[in-house]
Chain A
């Protein structure tokens, strides 16, 4: 009985270690900026663990091709071919989502909620190419929306859908960011 337990435990243990061990080298550089487990305290760097696999792959590809506005990610994405991007996206998508733990400004978030109806219809459940936004740091969410508003991101996959933010005030954008950031 004892030997059986040991065998099963070691099986589970090695499966988990091997799963890590075969892929961490690849992703270990990403976590230096995106944080251990794909989430870190920095406000403007998105959480990537547990994000939609399709979205992560599309985003890396768009940054590599410079169809999506980005700063250093446009350079870093060039380091990976299609197969590697698929592997990176799959690895992070398979991890547990980690929400931010910042204190939410409830008044601001309430304003955001009032504006959120058209956003939720797509973003409520991240559907393939549509990224999860709930629990992302508010700094990143407002940064992304401002990039769409200021027409920096007018060429990527989300541009057509995100056209609605062009007419929003910066304050409304902050409110929306605060609302979605506070949804764990």
Chain B
């Protein structure tokens, strides 16, 4: 590739500094002021954070990269629906942070993040405070409870959402396993915009499959006017595979949860069931609010659609589900978190090499199950369009599968292995 003389010389100057400080610590370079090695801190070890940490080290091994997460492993939401219904083992979706730490030289710190001092460029955690040159925050989602509706995090303990994978995945899996034949099930879909547009309908499909096999009945209540993603494909599954066990009711607004009667009161009637899976409406993860990345009255973290730098703090980047959908048409998905992370890693490495950021190019390939062995997908290419200053679909490259199929299911398995590998291994 061609490097212009000017950018080359700029790059060499920047590079000389980086190389001089990392390779030869025993030699003194007394006549040159040598800045310390650049420290990048990444908060959150999910699809966004883990990819960021790994790719930063891949692009520039001399960077000091620290990944902080409250758990020693991430549990993947993608594929967790299979685990809930006994189709896949929990171990497949359990991704220890140690793997990229050992392989790429990322410093992993298991800790709770407690605060941010952006002026001092310092993050406070339960294991101490840590300075950064650049901070990448990947908070994921949090639940937007409307407490007046009588539904809050306390209620959630008995009625898990399992929309953040981990303990609640196991809890829901156990509830499903312990259901008696002839039971009733109720699933509440969240109101768009939320994490993983097709996800709740994949859960509905697998729940319906379970219902079919266990003489159960499933009601799905949805605040959205219709199926939010891969609509015709899920609809076909609902009709053709699950017509006798599944009732799907769109445009249903939850008004109140009666805890004593375990009943969800809506504008379309009252609903109760032996097993209720209530997925609340969503907003940016708690950490985004805690660190001041979400301005008053907003639900998501505003960022630049080119660099993903926070609108609130300099040298702080926000990636993944927590970002403000106003700047992008991309869905909140693991693949988008993964590709955005690579972009931000590159932006930071380019900055240190004296190069301009590249305009974002990314994509989303997302597979869902309609039944235990039939899959569907959506595939989209995105890019930053300077005319509208947003990330939008590129060249109309956006479509869903023609139909559910075993072939899509086989590809789903390969895709799952590869995205988990690219992110966490």
8 Å CB contacts to B: which residues of A31-45? 31-36, 40-45
Query: Once the chains bind, are B414 and A45 in contact (CB under 8 Å)?
Result: yes
Say which one of A3-11, A105-113, A119-127, A159-167 lies at the interface with B.
Answer: A3-11
Does chain A have a CB within 8 A of B36? no
Contact B60 A17 (CB under 8 A): yes
Interface string of A167-184 (1 = CB under 8 A from B): 000000000000000000
Given contacts A28-B342, A42-B417, A71-B408, contact A10 B19 (CB under 8 A): yes
Partner of B418, one of A11, A15, A35, A72: A35
Nearest A-chain residue to B16, judged by Cβ: A10
Q: Are A20 and B394 in contact (CB under 8 A)?
A: no
Q: Which residue of A lies closest to B360 (CB)?
A: A25
Residue of A nearest to B31 (CB): A3
Which residue from B29, B60, B395, B416 sits with its C-beta under 8 Å from A79?
Answer: B395
> Known contacts A32-B418, A72-B379; is A9 also within 8 Å of B19 by CB?
yes
Residue of A nearest to B407 (CB): A71
Residues of chain A within 8 A of B147, CB atoms compared: none
A80 to B361, CA, bound (A): 11
B415 touching A33 by the CB < 8 A rule?
Answer: yes
B339 touches A28 (CB 8 A): yes
Q: Are A14 and B353 in contact (CB under 8 A)?
A: yes
B414 touches A42 (CB 8 A): yes
- Please name all residues of chain A whose beta carbon is closer than 8 Å to the beta carbon of B379 when the two chains form the complex: 72-73, 75-76
The answer for the CA separation of A76 and B379 in the assembled complex, in Å, is: 6
Instruction: Flag B402-425 by CB within 8 Å of A: 1 or 0 each.
Output: 000001101101111111011000
Residue B377 CB within 8 A of the other chain: yes
Q: What number of B residues sit within 8 Å (CB to CB) of A?
A: 63
Q: Are B3 and A28 in contact (CB under 8 A)?
A: no
Contact (A41, B343) CB under 8 Å given A6-B16, A9-B23, A79-B397: no
Q: Do A45 and B1 contact each other (CB < 8 Å), given the known contacts A21-B346, A32-B335?
A: no
**Does B155 interact with chain A (Cβ within 8 Å)?**
no
Give min CB distance, A29 to chain B, whole Å.
Answer: 4
Instruction: Determine if A35 and B422 form an interchain contact, defined as CB atoms under 8 angstroms apart.
Output: yes
Q: Which residues in window 67-126 of B have CB below 8 A to A? A: none
| Chain B 1-46 interface residues, beta-carbon cutoff 8 Å to A | 1, 3, 7-8, 11-12, 14-16, 18-20, 23-24, 27, 29
B365 at the A interface (CB under 8 A): yes
A41 touches B361 (CB 8 A): no
Q: Does A128 contact B (CB under 8 A)?
A: no
A149 to B416 alpha-carbon distance, docked (Å)? 27
Across the interface, which residues of A come within 8 angstroms of B349, CB to CB? Answer: 17, 20-21
Bound complex: CA A141 to CA B167 (Å): 39
- A11 and B358 form a contact (CB under 8 A): no
**B361 in contact with A26 (CB, 8 Å):** yes
Whether a CB of chain A sits under 8 angstroms from the CB of B398 is yes
Q: Which of B29, B343, B394, B417 sits near A28, CB closer than 8 Å?
A: B343
Q: Which residues of A contact B1 (CB under 8 A)?
A: 19, 22-23
Find the residue from A15, A40, A43, A143 having the highest chain B CB count within 10 A.
A40
CA A72 to CA B335, docked complex, whole Å: 15
CA distance A23 to B8 in the complex (A): 16
Given known A7-B16, A28-B362, A76-B365, contact A45–B342 (CB-CB < 8 A) = no
Interface residues of A in 60-76 (CB under 8 A from B): 71-73, 75-76
- A72 and B417 within 8 A (CB): no
Q: Say whether A76 contacts B422, CB under 8 Å.
A: no
B415 surroundings in chain A (CB, below 8 A): 33, 42, 45
Is B411 a contact of A45 with CB atoms below 8 Å?
yes
**Would you call A42 and B416 a contact (CB within 8 A)?**
yes
Q: B395 to chain A: which residues have CB within 8 Å?
A: 78-81
B350 at the interface (CB under 8 A from A): yes
Q: Judge whether B386 is part of the interface by a CB distance below 8 angstroms.
A: no
A44–B410 touching, CB < 8 Å? yes
**Inter-subunit contact B59/A17 (CB<8 Å):** yes
The yes or no answer to B401 lying at the interface (CB within 8 A) is yes
Closest B residue, CB atoms, query A64: B397
Q: B381's contact among A7, A22, A29, A31, by CB below 8 Å, is which?
A: A29
Closest partner residue, chain B, to A43 (CB atom): B414
Asked whether, in the complex, the Cβ of A35 is within 8 Å of the Cβ of B11, the reply is: no
Beyond A6-B19, A44-B410, whether A29 also contacts B350 by CB under 8 A is no
CA distance A103 to B150 in the complex (A): 56
Question: Contact between A35 and B18 (Cβ–Cβ < 8 Å)?
Answer: no
* Most B CB within 10 A of own CB, among A24, A28, A43, A72: A28
Does B342 lie within 8 Å of A24, measured CB to CB? yes
Complex Cα–Cα for A72 and B377 (A): 8
B399: interface (CB < 8 Å):
yes
Q: Which residue of A lies closest to B51 (CB)?
A: A32
CB of A18 within 8 A of chain B?
A: yes
B353, A76: Cβ atoms under 8 Å? no
- Closest B residue to A84 by CB, please name it: B361
B338-375 interface code vs A (CB 8 A; 1 in, 0 out): 11001100100110010100111111010000000000
Residues of chain B lying within 8 A (CB to CB) of residue A143: 410
A selection of 16 A-B contacts at a CB cut-off of 8 Å is A10-B16, A10-B20, A13-B15, A13-B18, A17-B60, A17-B349, A18-B7, A20-B346, A26-B358, A28-B55, A32-B339, A40-B421, A41-B417, A41-B421, A42-B415, A76-B363
Given contacts A43-B414, A80-B395, 15 further A-B contacts (CB under 8 A): A7-B12, A14-B14, A17-B11, A18-B3, A21-B349, A25-B346, A32-B418, A35-B421, A35-B422, A40-B417, A41-B417, A42-B418, A44-B413, A75-B380, A79-B394
